[in-house]
Chains A and B, each alone.
Chain A
Amino acid sequence: MSFKTAARETLQDAQLRRNIGKATTLIREKRLRAVAELPDWERLRDAGEAIKASAMATLPEQLERLEAAVTAAGGTVHWARDGAEANAIVASIAKRVGTDEVIKVKSLATDEIELNEALEAEGIHALETDLAELIVQLNPDDKQSHILVPAIHRNRAEIRALFEQTIARGQSLGNEASAIAEAARLHLRNKFLTVPMAVSGANFGIAETGTIGVVESEGNGRMCLTLPRVLVTLMGIEKVLPSWQDLEVFLQLLPRSSTAERMNPYTSLWTGVTPDDGPREFHLILLDGGRTQVLEDEVGRAALHCIRCSACLNVCPVYERVGGQAYESVYPGPIGAILTPQLRGLDAAPSLPWASTLCGACYEVCPVKIDIPSILIHLRGRVVREEQSKLTPEALAMKGMAAAFATRRRYEAAQRLARLGRGPLAKAAIPGWTAMRDLPEPPKETFRDWWKRERGEG
């Protein structure tokens, strides 16, 4: 489905627009306050951008350092070329552990490769423990709509109603958000204490030390990372940071950009396996899954710098109107519009680079300064060149206009024709515009005709 068609559907949902508008308005204002507190915010962004670019430019070395350090600390490192390979590794570990259930920390990478569905096919149930992921998982017809808060399209009343029909059946939860949180706590508590295997994603993997970092709020992450006997972490290869010191940059950039707090409630950092503390077995799966394909594009590869904070979604006027589901990807919003077509291939999502007005709000807030508008323009060019016929009406109109603009004589002739409703400039007068908007009265003379009349051709 094209973005236009998918957006037309979601735009009909007034409740969704209200919910998303309310949440993003709140978080936008909070983010501004959180960022304004740091006098060196712009310098942190500069550092964040350069660290990511440097990590990408030295990626083979960084990944090998990471593997060596994790292995030295008692962990096992696996490499997966694609999602199927990663899913098979997770399933084989679960089978060896002998469990038909795993608990999960929210992870976009696992959503991207549809790990839950793959495990289900092997008879292993993957239980989402993040509140928003749980909300989405409890409703078979629902889908994630935000990077940070997958259930952002649901308001408190809807979540309460869902819980009262599922995990808190027969109870009345009341209107307090804390009662909703309590219901999730009771539902998951026993699972945390008994399930022998957990699966997580990773916010960072530090090549220098082999340390993995997970940033979260609820404590479900800590439960999964600490209590089960076996921990499997799936990490996209772009998540590697060269040095321990780099944490000082990202632990400032990420929380203030994502939940707009000085710091998120919990950050877990661990290195391999620690005697008498946490899992006995640790597996790190390094996933390509299209990332090397993104890396091939010198302009587009900056999309790999993304730290999944979701600030660009929260400021995007397009996202705010259509919601995340219109992007038909686990990566919605502005970052999704440049990441999804590159990860899956331009032919799989050719309309996404146009899902933006190029207003620039995303670039303004990006903590690692990904120039999303420029990458959108670049990808539009690639779609036009690589995916489309040179004979589409648009391509012909663009060619016609370029020809008309090439000389003054042709340009002035086109202006005269346009006043008669003909020629390349008139065709460019955007068909469909007047379905919903009026066009201005065409002026009696162009500016240049006025100038020539008043000032002469000299």
Chain B
Amino acid sequence: MAAGGLLLRLAGPAGDPRAARAGLLPVVAALLLAGLPLALLAIEAIATTSSATGIDQARVADAALNTIVTAIISTTIALTLGGGLALLVALTDMPGRRALGGLALLPMLIPSQIAALAWGRLFDPAGPVAGWLGLTSFGGHPLEGAAGVWLVMGLEHSPIGFLAVIGAATRIPAEPAEAARIAGAGPTLALAVAARPLIRPALAAAAALGLISAAGNFGVPALLGIPGAYPVMATLIYQQMSGFGPAGLGDVARLAALLGLGTLILLHLSGRAAGRAARVADSGRIIGRLPLRRGRRLLAVLVWVPMLAISLGPLLALIAASLVPAPGVPLTATTASLDGFRMMVDPRHGALGAMATSAVLASLAAMASVLIAVPIGLFAARGGRAARLGAGAFDLALAMPGTVFAIAVILMLLPPLPGLGVSLYGTPFILLAAYLGRFPALVLAPVMAAAGRLDPAPEQAARLAGAGVARRILAGTWPALAGPAAGGALLVLLTAFNELTLSALLWSRGAETIGVAIYARQAEGDTAAAAALALASLVASLALALTGLRLLARLPGLNAAFGDQR
């Protein structure tokens, strides 16, 4: 057990063997769930030779180029839209700023595939919106193809720009602006001078995050890119896997590794940008809001009308689509049909089952993420080297595009498990394994942030009094970590409940997730059912988020941890 001994020594803070032992198990879990699949993917990608079902190099080059272009353009849109809104909300006296901030964050609650579905329906060539815009019918769909993928993905990722910029814009110091005013600058220029050093690094960090998210986004290119003949790496991997099966797994692994490598480079850049963003020191006095004066009303209209349109338009289109009796039938009071919803509540059609599957898997993932991530986060924040290794593995698994991680998990779990002789592939457990590899990082981040600020006194007191590790964590640190951990768990719950990227490749009979159920209904042309399901899952997510936030508000330590996460 030399390796175990080494891990043991690395796991906890020096001179605390009990803490080391307590940290060992979750670290092993992290390395098995997150590290091993990625390692196997790297090995497979290097070791494999091209198979008979190999992909044309031209298709790969095409998809890779499209991925890069999509990432750049959608991120530009996301940062412009989200960042612009954040500046308005943080720095001006725009009417309804709080509500505007809420609308700006709304896309976070709406999974990509549902947003793409709703936007697609809104711009149906035979529908009213296309008619108003004078778009011609029968010659393609205005949003299917490159432009639609860029736009919808840009909107989906705009909260990234919003959160980054609002975090910086609420900390702009007053002094530089006052100095600029004294030097004769107008109020807008003075604000710009003061804001630039904070906003620029925040935007850089958000740009890297936006690029990573875009490379990993599957829902938007799957619904708008595949029918529009605009392949990106994520959809190419999915199509290759579903079209050729494991015979082409080696090639798919290489594709996944290629996409993963691109993400690694971005991660490195994002780390540097985030480092620069953090170096900007907080100052005492925060700058005041810029009064808009005469332009206030006009600007309010110019901002509020499009914001309401892009928030409510797709939702209304989704509702309309769920009521259409058959594709292409104009929706009127007499044609409206509830068949889509009837299908949903009919147990034979499995839609409720999919909802239950997602709910169970998401709950298990949230609970297990807390159990694994809290000790790792605690020990990692104290400098435990193995714990930091585990945390790194989880962070990497989350940053990797979901499609890449799914392929990695297939590589790990397709062969029968050693000792047991059964394969987890084709069972719900492979989905759970993928969730447990990918989502603990969502708990890890807030827990580590909170643990870094933790006052060590109560725990040391407990240790001096002879308390065991478990008891020390419970008595000394848990109260301070409960809020952040629960916040992370809520994030896992919502993300896992709505995800499609992993389950599109890993789902099996009896484990259809809600994401797959929506996507599959859409792919087989049952749009009313897909729209009805999408609405139901939106309502469920919203209820979950609101209930969760309400419960969280009662826990201590939450604001402290998430305040820094912006």
- To the question of whether A and B form a pair in one complex, the answer is no
B binding-site residues for A, Cβ under 8 Å: none
